[in-house]
Every structure is written in structure tokens, then in C-alpha cells.
Amino acid sequence: MAVQQGGAGSLVKAAAAGDDAAWEALVRSFSGLVWSIARGYRLSSADAADVFQTVWLRLAEHLGRIENPDHIGAWLATTARRESLRVARSGARTVAMDDAGLLEFAQTDEASPEQALLQAEQARFDAERATRMWRAFGELSVRCQELLRVLIATQRPSYAEVAAALDLPVGSIGPTRARCLKQLRRRLAGEVSEAESRAHISQGEKRREDRRA
């Protein structure tokens, strides 16, 4: 569950007073937001991890001097964005994220042959679906990709935090999100139609080959 603004402010004050449990609660609540911002700048895993650690170090250094503890999420988002930009502009390593590669499938060592076959087919279907989705996602504008990545952080961020992360007006986030999702759905529908067309063509070719045989 995401921490409410008032609750986050209380955690900041408690952590500044030396409460280790409050610090751990802050890290649990906002780690997803910080990580999604760093990865949104297409940094390598190592550089994103450096950004992640630096952001929390900055918070530890300024914990007792945060002007508005209730808006700690926005503070973290702004710090993560600035640090990510600094790393990206310094010529740090960047990599294209292979999101489909994040999928993990269950091991089938002890499954029956029938179960193994069904699981393999399901895994193939899931992988193909994920590939189509991320291919459609990659066709979106950079701004749409950044926005959607931040919005799907583990702990759903507030619009104020998203605005701080991407340097956008708060009022523009809702309409921009709707436009980006509409574009994603349209591109995904195109991916599905193309895949079905290829499958239909492939089946037709197979039938012709069978008849010739």
C-alpha cells in the first residue's frame, strides 16, 4: 500500500530522529519510484543502481533539512531525475532495456510431459504477447515511455511525484497519460493484427505444401 502524504511526512520526521524502522518504511515505499525514474533514462543496470544509491544517500544527508516532509515523494523524484540526467550526460553507459527479458517462467523439471508441454506453450504465448506489447511501447514517444514507466512504479506515485520526476505540470499528467495509453492500445492492436496476418499466411503456405506432398 502506498504511503499517504501525511504518513510519509511522519516517517521522514521519525527517521530524522533516528528511527530505523521509519527509514526502512520510506525506502520500501519509494524505492519503486526512484528505480523506475533511473531506468526510464535508459541507464545501464549498474548506473541505475548507482543513481538509486545516490538518491537515498542524498536523502540521508538532508533528512533533517527537508522543508516539506509531507512531499518527500516529490523530493525523491526530483533528486532521482537530476541524478539520472547527470549520469546520462556524463557519458555513462546506456543500454536499451529488454523488458520482455524480465519475464521469468516456472521450472518444469518435475512436471509430467503433458504438463511440461502445456507450460511451455503458455510460456511461449506469454513471451510473444510481452514481445508485442513492448514493441508497441517502444514505438511511443520518449515522453510517453518515460511517463508510463514512472506511473507503473511498484508503489503507485502521486501526480505531484510524477510531475517532479519528469518536470511536467501536474495538470498535464492526466491528459498526457490518457493520450499515451490510447496510442499504446492502437499500436498494440496493430501488432496483434500483424501477428494474426502472419499466422494466417503461414498456415496457408503449410496447407499448400501439404497438398503438394
Quickly list DSSP for 175-199: HHHHHHHHHHHHHHHHHHHHHHHHH
- Lowest average pLDDT, out of 7-11, 47-51, 77-81, 135-139, goes to 135-139
pLDDT computed for residue 94 by the predictor: 45
pLDDT computed for residue 100 by the predictor: 39
Q: Residue 96: is its pLDDT beyond 60? A: no
Q: Mapping DSSP to helix (H, G, I), strand (E, B) and coil, where does residue 168 land? A: coil
Between residues 153 and 169, the one the model is more confident about: 169
Between residues 184 and 119, the one the model is more confident about: 184
Q: Is residue 57 very low, low, confident or very high in pLDDT (cuts 50, 70, 90)?
A: very high
Half-sphere exposure of 173 (CA within 13 A, CB side): 19
Residues of the chain with CATH 1.10.10.10: 99-212
Quickly list DSSP for 16-50: HTT-HHHHHHHHHHHHHHHHHHHHHTTB-HHHHHH
Q: Residue 24: is its pLDDT beyond 70? A: yes
Instruction: Provide CATH code, domain 5-89.
Output: 1.10.1740.10
Q: Is residue 119 very low, low, confident or very high in pLDDT (cuts 50, 70, 90)?
A: low
pLDDT computed for residue 118 by the predictor: 56
42 Cβ neighbours under 8 A, 6+ residues apart: 88, 94, 95, 96, 97
For residue range 170-181, what is the model confidence (pLDDT) as tens digits? 899 889 989 988
Q: Residue 35: is its pLDDT beyond 90? A: no
pLDDT computed for residue 148 by the predictor: 85
- Lowest average pLDDT, out of 43-57, 98-112, 134-148, goes to 98-112
Q: Mapping DSSP to helix (H, G, I), strand (E, B) and coil, where does residue 110 land? A: coil
Matching CATH number, 99-212, of 3.40.50.300, 3.40.50.150, 3.30.70.1230, 1.10.10.10: 1.10.10.10
Q: Is residue 135 very low, low, confident or very high in pLDDT (cuts 50, 70, 90)?
A: confident
Q: Mapping DSSP to helix (H, G, I), strand (E, B) and coil, where does residue 94 land? A: strand
Backbone angles phi, psi at 154, to 5 degrees: -55, -50
Between residues 124 and 152, the one the model is more confident about: 152
Q: Residue 193: is its pLDDT beyond 80? A: no
141 Cβ neighbours under 8 A, 6+ residues apart: 180
- Lowest average pLDDT, out of 41-55, 73-87, 141-155, goes to 141-155
The rounded percent of the chain whose pLDDT value lies above 90 is 17
> How confident is the prediction for the chain on average, in pLDDT?
75
Asked whether the beta carbons of 46 and 93 are under 8 A apart, the reply is yes
pLDDT computed for residue 11 by the predictor: 92
